[in-house]
Amino acid sequence: MSRSWHSLYAPVSDVDRVAEALRQVLVAHGYALYDPFPGGSGFAAPGWKRLIRQFAAPPSAGWVCVVGEPDPDVLSQAAASLGVPLIYASLTRAGAGLSIWSAEGSSGVPEAFAPWLRADKTPDDLRRALAGEVPADSDGPEGAMIGGVPLPEDVRELARQVDAGQAEKLMGSLTRSLFGKLGGKAEAQARALIGAGGSPWQTPAGAALRAALDCLAVPQDRRVLSFEEVSDAYQVARARQRHPRGLRLPGDDEALALVPDALDYRLVFAGKP
């Protein structure tokens, strides 16, 4: 489970347009593009100290979500190129962040998000959510369901308490006894759940960000994936595309089950010294 999470949201329906705009502004800021996946251009150069690794997801509900940490220095230019603002949400050990970027710069005041709020939400709702005064509508990316079945509260409490060292041992017996009959996707979800103890989503900042995202019109189905989950699935999908009869490694099927449309994502990988 990743200890950080970053997503950009662009209110457009063309993933290629969003990905290309990000690539172009990165190049304009001295970055070189690269593709480290099977059949790509190769890995990052040894001298590069700054790396940008993002995936632009297929559009959903009129939005494109870009998973992975961006370079904030290029966001205003990217927003200007696209002609729409970009919403940037992040969650790290340092806390949560939510800002909106336009050609003029960035803002984090709730009123700036007014055009992008859900119809039943107001800037004051967003303000209270960010302050931790409003509970999230869901249990967040860790989820409260496995294979569509709600988890009992005692199992969810176990997921919150277990430490990383215990997680792998518990995973073997727990998935065999409780989740073994539900298939690869359910097992992958179970692994994510059991590893949730070290996740920043289980902090007050994580709860506040979940509640804030619930106020926005960003697509719910594009909120939960981490960069690592998309990257793992994309790696497997690209390898199988090039070598359909190639070696199958443990965990490959589970990675693809989490992101079955991995090949529809667009790479925004770049680096510079």
Q: Which of 198, 220, 247 is the last residue of a domain?
A: 198
**163 with 111, same domain?**
no
What span, in angstroms and rounded, lies between the C-alpha atoms of 103 and 106?
8
Q: Which of 198, 227, 242 is the last residue of a domain?
A: 198
With both helix axes pointing from N to C terminus, report the angle between 184-194 and 153-161 in degrees, rounded to the nearest 10: 60
Burial class (CB in 10 A: 0-12, 13-18, 19+), 155: middle
What span, in angstroms and rounded, lies between the C-alpha atoms of 68 and 65?
10
**Given this model, what pLDDT does residue 60 score?**
94
Task: Note the pTM of the prediction, 2 decimals.
Answer: 0.78
**208 with 105, same domain?**
yes
The 10 Å CB-count burial string (b at 16+, else e) for 111-148 is: ebbeebbeeebeeebbbbbbeeebebebbbbbbbebee
Number of domains composing the chain? 2
Q: Which of 183, 198, 213 is the last residue of a domain?
A: 198
**218 with 115, same domain?**
yes
**148 with 261, same domain?**
no
Which residue bears the tokens 């999230």?
136
**157 with 244, same domain?**
no
Domain that holds residue 181: 140-198
**186 with 240, same domain?**
no
**33 with 104, same domain?**
yes
**Given this model, what pLDDT does residue 223 score?**
63
**186 with 223, same domain?**
no
Give 175's DSSP letter.
I
**134 with 144, same domain?**
no
**218 with 84, same domain?**
yes
**Given this model, what pLDDT does residue 135 score?**
73
Tens digit of pLDDT per residue, the chain (273 long)?
Answer: 457 899 999 999 999 999 999 999 999 999 999 999 999 999 999 999 999 999 999 999 999 999 999 999 999 999 999 999 999 999 998 899 999 999 999 999 999 999 999 999 999 999 999 999 977 654 444 444 333 334 444 444 554 454 433 443 444 444 344 444 445 545 444 444 444 445 678 889 999 999 999 999 998 776 668 999 999 999 999 999 999 988 899 999 999 999 999 999 999 999 999
Query: Token pair for residue 239?
Result: 């390898």
**Given this model, what pLDDT does residue 222 score?**
60
**162 with 115, same domain?**
no
Contact 109, 155 (CB under 8 A): no
Per-position DSSP letters for 21-49, written without gaps between them: HHHHHHHHTT-EE---STTSS-PPPTT--
**12 with 51, same domain?**
yes
DSSP H stretches of helix in 152-258:
153-161, 164-174, 184-194, 204-215, 227-242, 252-258
Contact 91, 4 (CB under 8 A): yes
What span, in angstroms and rounded, lies between the C-alpha atoms of 74 and 268?
13
